[in-house]
Amino acid sequence: MDKAALKTTADNLVKSGKGILAADESTGTAGKRLASIGMDNTEDNRRAMRDMFFSTSGAAEYISGVILFEETLGQDRVDGKHSFATDMMAHGVIPGIKVDKGLEDAFETGEKVTNGLDGLPERLAGYYQQGARFAKWRSVFSITDTLPSAACIAENCDRLARYAKMCQEAAIVPIVEPEMLMDASGAGHTIDQAYAATVRVHKALFKKLEEHGVYLGGVLLKPSMVIEGHACDVCTTTNDVAEMTVKCLKESVPADVAGVVFLSGGQADTQATEHLNIMNQIAEKQGGLPWPLSFSYGRALQGEALRAWGGREDALENARATFLHRAKMNSLATKGLYTADKEDGLCLGKCACA
């Protein structure tokens, strides 16, 4: 294991002002994105959708890396000149890869485990040859009065740790993603329940990472923000979410971890930006935190731009500008410099976003 190389890659992924684009939707999920704008789920359409985001001029100023789906890692751009991964590396953006194989029911409680460990070392070697230098594995946890169960936490955290160790042995930085579901069916948990569940899961995860000999300086944590479930009838403020999330991280995440890159998980685009911004303002007031707080957003970066595109060639420029704007807003949030007035029009050199 080359700890220095892992550390360098991890640090570059959370470099000041930059975050990660999560574009790792499976073929089925990509199809849902395309269907929302009236497009068929074909390989060419998936390629065109990815190309729109990945070829946005100036995005590398705000995007450090992109998590890809297996199909996309090996795909050429629409113009056929280079692969997506090769083009990214040429612009200083690090290609990553989703390596888990999805969820399955595993407990009487209805909770799920994540599959994908079988054959993973061989797949990682191939992904490395294709240019991937980091990877992602997602586990999910429901929150109720009795969930997540101890069995679900133990099994999913063990799988996350085994995956992370395999990644590091393949010279690939692992992102560990223990997602606390806020929009699952019936999700009505309070922010206090979310806090308690997240602390439990994080502590169990880092205990497993230690047991498996994972080097934390070469690990990124992709956590949920501490937020109530969508069906909860007690609403919290943006400040509440930011304060509770920072408190949770300080209680449950070792200082050695290279960085924290939040998922947006069911939040509106600007809401995810606002929460990240306030967390970084809190961090500054507290004299800094052990790890950078950044983003690894999917829909919160892509959704608005996808609607602006609608599959139309004549809308590409506007769609790319929309994507660039959201990337820039989240870049500002990583520094605690985002304000709502910067949303007034796209940032095409016409507003004071510097």
pLDDT, tens digit, 9 for 90 and up, residues 287-305: 999 999 999 999 999 999 9
* pLDDT bucket at 354, cuts 50 / 70 / 90: very low
- 354 against 211, higher pLDDT: 211
Record the pTM.
Answer: 0.95
Q: What is the pLDDT of residue 226?
A: 96
The pLDDT value recorded for residue 121 is 98
81 confidence band (pLDDT: 50, 70, 90): confident
Question: Which region among 3-17, 118-132, 171-185, 317-331 has the lowest average model confidence (pLDDT)?
Answer: 171-185
- Choose between 127 and 352: higher pLDDT: 127
Lowest mean pLDDT among 79-88, 227-236, 255-264, 333-342: 227-236
Is the pLDDT reported for residue 105 higher than 50? yes
Write down the pLDDT at residue 265. 84
pLDDT mean across residues, the chain: 94
- What is the model's pLDDT at position 107? 92
pLDDT value at residue 235: 79
Q: What is the mean pLDDT of residues 71-98?
A: 95
Dist. CA 59–CA 87, nearest whole Å:
13
Least confident range of 112-116, 168-172, 325-329, 341-345: 341-345
3-343 maps to CATH 3.20.20.70 = yes
Checking if the pLDDT of 351 tops 60, the result is: no
pLDDT of amino acid 345: 57
Q: What is the pLDDT of residue 236?
A: 87
> What are the extents of the domains in the chain?
3-343
pLDDT score at 185 = 60
Q: What digits encode the pLDDT tens for the residues 180-202?
A: 998 666 678 899 999 999 999 99
Evaluate if residue 350 carries a pLDDT over 50. Answer: no
pLDDT confidence of residue 184: 61
Residues taking part in catalysis: 177, 222
Lowest pLDDT segment from 54-63, 221-230, 232-241: 232-241
* Confidence tier at 352 by pLDDT (50, 70, 90): very low
Q: What percent of the chain has pLDDT over 90?
A: 90
| Per-residue pLDDT at 249 | 98
- pLDDT value at position 353? 39
Q: What is the pLDDT of residue 188?
A: 80
Percentage of residues of the chain with pLDDT beyond 70:
96
pLDDT over 80 at 316, yes or no: yes
- Give 127-173 pLDDT, tens digit per residue: 999 999 999 999 999 999 999 999 999 999 999 999 999 999 999 99
